[in-house]
Amino acid sequence: MSKGLLHHIELYVTDIKRTVDFWGWFLGELGYTSYQEWGKGQSWKLDDTYIVFVQAEDRFLDIPYHRCRAGLNHLAFHATSRQHVDEMTKKLKARKVNILYSDKHPFAGGNNYYAVFFEDPDRIKVELVAPE
């Protein structure tokens, strides 16, 4: 095990069923496998890192998530190539996922930064970026 590698990320969500549908598909496309599942949550694992999603309690749903508040801004994942970004963009659009910065896509991150930016069901920004 390498010191400093990310062990896991845990995110609370507003609708676990919707989240599992979205993230299960996306993470599966990236090679993650289902790791843990219980009534109010699920996780997916790739190598030694896993991502956990947990249903937030009703009493904490009054203030919706916004990426510009203090806390998480976005999650970025490696793509294998520019072609991989293009293929995933088509799949995201077919699933009617909100693509961000579509007027600048696929260079919304800069001239040589090839990526697709989109939102999960809670509007968490997600990025899939090709190697430079």
**Burial call 21-31: b when 16+ CB within 10 Å, e when fewer:** ebbeebbeeee
For the cut 70, the answer to whether the pLDDT of residue 1 exceeds it is no
Three-state DSSP state, 59: helix
Contacts of 54 (CB under 8 A, 6+ apart): 10, 11, 12, 13, 16, 40, 41
pLDDT single digits (tens) 51-90 = 999 999 999 999 888 989 888 999 999 999 999 999 999 9
pLDDT single digits (tens) 4-36 = 889 999 999 999 999 999 999 999 999 999 999
Domains of the chain: 1-60 (3.10.180.10), 73-132 (3.10.180.10)
